[in-house]
Structures are given as C-alpha cells and as structure tokens.
Amino acid sequence: MTDCPVFSPRRIYAMVLRHGYLIRGSWTRLAEMVYWPFINVVVWGFTSQFMAAHSDWVSRAVGVFLGAVMLWDVMFRGNLGVALSFLEEIWSRNLGHLSVSPLRPLELVSAMLIMSLIRTLIGMVPVALLTIPLYHFSIFTLGLPLLAFFANLMLSGWAVGLAVSALVLRYGQGAESLAWVLIFALAPLCGIYYPVSVLPDWLQAVAWFLPPSHIFEGMRMVMFDHLFPGRQLVVALALNLGYLAAAVGLFLWVHHLARVKGLFLSMGE
C-alpha cells in the first residue's frame, strides 16, 4: 500500500469508474449526451435536404452539412467531456478528497480525457447510425480519413476542455460557462460549413492556426474531390499536439497554483 507509482492505470481506472457510475445512475446525463447531437442532425439534415433540391453546390455533396455537423459535434463533445468531468468534481465538492488522495494531476487529466472519449462515443455513434436510414447519408463512407478526422477533432476538443478546466480551477465556478461558450468562439473561424477562403484574408491567416480548419477543409476534399487530405491531416495533427501539450501544461500549472492559493478546499457548491 506504500508503493507510489508516478503514473498508475489503476487510479485512472478509479476516476473513469467514478464518472461511469455517475452516468449509469443518471438517465438525464445520458440523454443529454445524445440529445444535442440528435437535434443538430435533424435540423441540418432537413435543411441540407431542402438545399440539395435548390443549390447546385450542395447537390454535389448532400452529406456535406451533415458530415460537418457531426464532426463539429465530435470536437464540441470532446471539449465538454473533459470540462464536465472536472466540473462534476467541483459541483460535488469532491475535489478536496481527491486532492488528498494519491491521485496525481496527470492521472486526473488522463481520466478526464478517457471520459471525454467515452461521452463523445455515447453521443455520436447512435446519431451517426441514425442518419443512415433518415437521410441516406453515412459518415462512415468517408472511410479511413474519418478516423483521422475524429482523432484530430478529439485532440482539439481536449485542448479546449483542459484550458477551460484550468480557468475554472483558477477563477472559480464563475468561469464554468466557458465550457459551452469558448469553443463556439472558434466555430466561425474553423470553416465548418463553408471553405476558409470565404473568410477575409486576415481572418484566414488566423483560421489556419486552428487545427479544425484543416480538418473541415480535408472533409470537403474527400466529399467533393474524393482525394485523401494527407497534408491537412498532418498539419492538423502537428497543431493539435502543440495545443494539447500547452493545455496540459496550463492545467498542471494552475493545479500547482491552486496549491499555492489554497483553492482546493474552498471550491464547491
């Protein structure tokens, strides 16, 4: 009991189990994970069906909006999955207990990322399957690049979610709305529903620093031109790894700062 590994999969498992219990025991949380992706897909599905009949551009790729909606939701859910796992600890006033347990900050981060993946899959897989009978569109036809898109967008979501969690830890629950707000500030720049070239030149320069911009360009490349977006994926991955490393660093630094300022016992409902 006195051995103390620097990184323990068992402690990460404990935290995943903690959130698994929470989700299992709360149908509202479970429903919420599927509800918003479902609503998004329904709204955009019918919109794109209408536009397909009236727009030559869209008629070339009926699924372009649906694909964009679902991939955007992957990033959004990835972000929310991380931030919510952290917020749940604050809402339940459990952070004090966790902070005096042997759980290390990097293990907490790892558990939050794993929970984010689980939450995202719970939300997205049923919706992705639903679009097949509903709109005769399967995102799975994107093939192998879909996996790369998914992985990249999860990394982007994790980076934002960790940054939000760090801000909540530093500035308190007043900052918790950032879990929903911050990522939407990036949406107009990411070229989700339109090419980045639509943006003004100076904004395009900013957009190319955002990994999702490359992913959504890549998605359109697959859908319109049936080309493998190798360059886009590599650039997105490089940017994502940089941002994720920075976000992990920020979270760990704020975690240390919380010990200086005594934030752990004072946070709660």
Partner 1 sequence: MTATAAAIEVENLEKRFADIRAVDGVSFTVRRGGTTALLGGNGAGKTTTLSILLGILLPTGGRVRVLGEDMLTNRHRVLPRINFSSPYVDLPHRLTVRENLTVYAHLYRLPRPAARIAEVARQFAIGDLMARPAGKLSAGQKTRVALAKALLNEPELLMLDEPTASLDPDTADWVRSSFQDYQRRTGATLLLASHNMTEVERLCDDVLIMKQGRIVDAGSPRMLLDRYGRETMEEVFLDIARRPDDLGSSAA
Under the binding rule (CB under 8 A), the answer on residue 208 touching partner 1 is: no
Residue 41 corresponds to which tokens in the numbers above?
Answer: 């897909």
Q: Which amino acid is at 77?
A: R
Return d(Cα 64, Cα 48) in angstroms, integer.
Answer: 8
CB of 255 to partner 1, least distance (A): 11
Phi, psi at 7, each rounded to 5°: -140, 115
Task: Out of 58, 65, 66, 88, name the contact with partner 1 by CB under 8 A.
Answer: 88
Task: Out of 93, 185, 198, 238, name the contact with partner 1 by CB under 8 A.
Answer: 93
Under the binding rule (CB under 8 A), the answer on residue 27 touching partner 1 is: no
Under the binding rule (CB under 8 A), the answer on residue 22 touching partner 1 is: yes
Task: Out of 31, 43, 100, 205, name the contact with partner 1 by CB under 8 A.
Answer: 100
Under the binding rule (CB under 8 A), the answer on residue 31 touching partner 1 is: no
CB of 267 to partner 1, least distance (A): 10
CB of 260 to partner 1, least distance (A): 5
Q: How far is CA 263 from CA 45, 79, 171, 255, in A?
A: 45, 23, 9, 9
Task: Out of 35, 57, 59, 97, name the contact with partner 1 by CB under 8 A.
Answer: 97
CB 120 within 8 A of CB 74: yes
Residue closer to partner 1 by CB (options 24, 136) is: 24
3-state secondary structure 113-165: HHHHHHHHHHHHHHHHHHHHHHHCCCHHHHCHHHHHHHHHHHHHHHHHHHHHH
CB of 164 to partner 1, least distance (A): 21
Under the binding rule (CB under 8 A), the answer on residue 103 touching partner 1 is: yes
User: What does the angle CA 6 – CA 20 – CA 109 come to, to the nearest 5 degrees?
Assistant: 35
Residue closer to partner 1 by CB (options 33, 142) is: 33
Task: Out of 40, 47, 94, 138, name the contact with partner 1 by CB under 8 A.
Answer: 94
CB of 261 to partner 1, least distance (A): 8
Residues contacting 137, CB < 8 A, separation 6+: 45, 62, 63, 66, 67, 131
CB 167 within 8 A of CB 257: no
Neighbours of 180 (CB within 10 A): 13
Task: Out of 17, 43, 206, 246, name the contact with partner 1 by CB under 8 A.
Answer: 17
CB 107 within 8 A of CB 16: no
CB of 30 to partner 1, least distance (A): 13
CB of 56 to partner 1, least distance (A): 52
Contact positions vs partner 1 (CB under 8 A): 1-4, 6, 8, 10-11, 13-15, 17-18, 21-22, 25-26, 88, 92-94, 96-104, 259-262, 264-265, 268
